[in-house]
Amino acid sequence: MLNNPWQRHKDLISIHDLTAEEVEALFQLAANVKARPDRYRTALAGQTLAMIFEKSSTRTRVSFEVGMYQLGGLATFLSSRDIQIGRGEPIADTARVLSRYVNGIMARTFAHATVTDLAAHATIPVINGLTDLLHPCQALTDYFTMREVFGHTRGLTLAYVGDGNNMAHSLMFGGPKVGANVRIATPEGYRPRPEIVELAQADARAAGTTVELFSRPEEAVRDAHVVYTDVWASMGQEAEAAQRLQAFAGYQVTPELMELADKDAVFMHCLPAHRGEEVAAAVADGPRSVIFDEAENRLHVQKAIMLMLMNR
């Protein structure tokens, strides 16, 4: 790919690593890929993406696997039961071996260090498909979808209600890159990690946007253009489900909460959604919901990510 604006990046680990111009270039490519997929059907011909999954997935697996196929390449699924990384082989060895076989690695893991270690030792691109700390592919997709809905993102406000988890972290990193303000409303004890907040707020000051934390959902949602939530207990937190159900009482996105947002506001969720918990069914399945547009756009944005990193 000539004049690739991502040329300085080998990997995609965090949106924090990207510039606003690089995110804009990704969105332009994703829009082109979505509008004219036929133009890119041989762009990664002969290339293979290794997909490492410690966590099961619907959207991540299918979108990357189908995306590679539509770009002319091959994706190979590797669960922790299938490869030696789950049986004590050093991550560095796995990275070096896969670098001899394939052209890129996508990893969906628990520990963030697994992805950063893969990237440190691989000689091929590594894509963070999700860790307990960050979910950059999803957040980039969310802001791409936001841009489709409103025609732009600059000056808009995204309000996130719920757990200060990997989604909250990546949305905070993404806002300053697209000129959007981000508000995070969480219960005490479930706030985003302070080091992530500090980095995101520094990015926001440089971009002329804001990243703010709230305790009450109503404060965050008022006049917001996007209302966003995620499950209260993520994969690996099943033992905490009952405790979290109690802690997050009052943080459900209801039709009444949506009424506090801007009159043209939309509802977003990274899915899977637990209707009756973090979101009311009337919201998730209502006219303001764009959750399935987000899900579709995972395919287009991730195809653009693979093109940026692997088509050189």
What residues are annotated to the active site?
108, 135, 138, 230, 270, 298
Reduce the secondary structure of the chain to three states and give it as a string. Answer: CCCCCCCCCCCECCHHHCCHHHHHHHHHHHHHHHHCHHHHCCCCCCCEEEEEECCCCCHHHHHHHHHHHHCCCEEEEEECCCCHHHHCCCHHHHHHHHHHHCCEEEEECCCHHHHHHHHHHCCCCEEEEECCCCCHHHHHHHHHHHHHHHCCCCCCEEEEECCCCHHHHHHHHHHHHHCCEEEEECCCCCCCCHHHHHHHHHHHHHHCCCEEEECCHHHHHCCCCEEEECCCCCCCCHHHHHHHHHHCCCCCECHHHHCCCCCCCEEEECCCCCECCCECHHHHCCCCECHHHHHHHHHHHHHHHHHHHHCC
